[in-house]
Amino acid sequence: MRRVPRVLPCLALAGVLLCSAARAGEVELVARRAAQPPAIDGRPGEAAWGEAAWSTGFMDLVHGGAPWLATAAALLWDDRALYLAVRCVEPDVNATLANRDDPLYRENDVEFFLAGADAYWEVEANARGAVYDVFWVWTDRLGPGRRYGPPDWDPAGRRVLRLSGIGDHVHPRGERVGFIDADLSGLVAAAAVDGTLNDPGDRDRGWSLELAIPWAGLAPLADGRALPPRPGDAWAANLFRFEFRDAAGRPLPLLRPAAWALSPHGAFDAHMPERFARLRFAK
């Protein structure tokens, strides 16, 4: 599909003016080094987040069109962890699922994917701060004598999913196995609502999210790369927002909600690491 540059409007959130222009297929996310780790309380208001490079260029996952609700995201890092903050404009904030590894993909959420050559982490979070995290391994690298083998990565007796594609899209690399019970070690998540949660009788302003992902939990993706990264290192990553109501507030199908990404995929499938953005670690 031919890529067309799209300039999105400026976004004012929490007193900060955020503007970005994104060219689909050439998206770079910048994680700046934090002098002090941010407090993970769901409210990205610390000075460190004021120095971060905020990305607001979310586009429709399939065709790159502009969304009807604004989203802004930023990344920081230090020697201990990778930090993610997201701000979502949302007139009616909803989140019902509250437990680790509940199927958050069935309601409004934010999803962060981080990939190595043969595996990737999927981390989802909702406005309650609940987390669903899955470690996905391509089956051509899974098994005895391979990069991901037993005992750590043996699907037998584990809580796993198997996936070849989403909807009409089948990935050319084939199947991968998702280890739902492989919780990302040390992950901390928190969300905050600017309004009232699960109350359709009023109008909310939105919700925000913070994650801290320790480098130790990302070791299975390192592929020989330094942990923590060095300034200038780059990983493959993407960030998505899923919304289950249209611009008029009408429910959208469970299997086809609105899907917005910083790097669109040309298909309704978030599980396409080759289409992820480039996450660059800066000083």
- 30, HSE (Cβ side, Cα atoms, 13 Å): 13
pLDDT tens sequence across 55-94:
999 999 999 999 999 999 999 999 999 999 999 999 999 9
pLDDT for 19 equals: 31
- Asked if residue 208 has pLDDT above 60, the reply is yes
Residue that has been written with the tokens 């994917």 in this structure:
113
Q: Give the pLDDT mean for 39-58.
A: 96
Tell me the pTM: 0.91
pLDDT for 26 equals: 76
- Asked if residue 18 has pLDDT above 60, the reply is no
CA distance 73 to 77: 14
- Asked if residue 9 has pLDDT above 60, the reply is no
In the CATH hierarchy, which fold is given to the domain comprising 28-133+183-282?
Answer: Immunoglobulin-like (2.60.40)
CB 107 within 8 A of CB 95: yes
State which H helix or E strand residue 47 sits in. helix 47-50
Task: Look over the chain and give the mean of its residue pLDDT values, rounded to a whole number.
Answer: 91
